[in-house]
Amino acid sequence: MLRTSNSTRMLLVVLLAALVLPGVAMAGKKGKKKKKGQDEAPPVGWFAEEGWMGECYGPPDFASMASGPRRMAWQEAREAIMSQWQGGKGDGVKFDEKAITNVETALLSRPERIEQVAAENLALCKKAMAGQGAGEWERWLVGLTGKLTAGECPTPPMDFTLFDYLSISADWHIPVHVCKDDHVRIEASAGDFFKLSDDGPWINVEGDKSQPATGDLPCTTEGCFKGQLIMRFTAQSGVQTILPVGTTLDFRAPEHGRIDLMINDDTFFDNVWKVERGIEHHTSIEYSPVP
């Protein structure tokens, strides 16, 4: 049998202690608790605090997500928040359906807007569920669409070609919506003729050059003639501008708005198209982007 001395046994005990103690120290670190008062991550999803009348939806940390999961989170947050607005949570919250539809349209056109909406919605929901009422929350929702789309064109840009036919028996017609800085070309066929009265001359959209526009005609500025094709631009601000077109005009929109056309006339009952070989003339109209 192998015998060991007292000094050898003491050496073994010291070595074993050196091996065991680091593990004990690490175990102590793993079990360390969070310091009192340290901020906790905000809740994600539906949650309620003590004393609340219902739940609020906490959005995730969108900024920390990759593109794909972030887009999925946008959709999930939008659907969750809208379900509460529509009364789906049974907490007494039910907002104006038209306002909800308007906000949904704004969010679908630019899904990333939900990040701003979700954060603001959470703050207002917390107030309501804590007993402060939902009035401020609903007023925010009603005005939200205008806030989200401020300065944006309410219609798609004029980047397509539109064909139609001019009426000589109606006032403003053939409307087309344009966005600020859209550069639009208006063209009308020059080979189609009409009369403004039984004893008047046959004219085309250039108008009767012997009759400069005066009186109650829509366009009376320099360059306008009776019977001429004219345009009206109605800006989103309400300001209207009337210009002569004739057979062609390039127009750049100074702001979002709408273009309408008509012939420069104030009576329409006696206007007639020319008929040749049994075929009635009709002036064609084309809107297109300026190349």
Average confidence (pLDDT) per 10 residues, the chain, 291 residues: 48 44 40 51 92 96 96 97 96 95 90 95 96 95 89 86 97 96 97 95 96 91 95 95 98 96 95 96 98 89
pLDDT at 109: 84
Parse the chain into domains and list their residue ranges.
Answer: 45-148, 162-289
pLDDT at 4: 47
DSSP 234-289: EETTS-EEEEE-TTEEEEE-SSSEEEEEEES-S--TT-EE-EETTEE---EEEEEE
Closest CA to 193 of 184, 183, 182, 202: 202
Cα 126 to Cα 145: distance, rounded to the nearest angstrom: 21
Question: For the CA atoms of the chain, what is the radius of gyration?
Answer: 37
The packing angle between helices 97-109 and 114-127, to 10°, is 150
Q: What is the pTM of this model?
A: 0.59
pLDDT at 22: 45
CA neighbours within 13 Å on the CB side: how many for 256?
11
pLDDT at 27: 38
Topology of domain 162-289, CATH: Jelly Rolls (2.60.120)
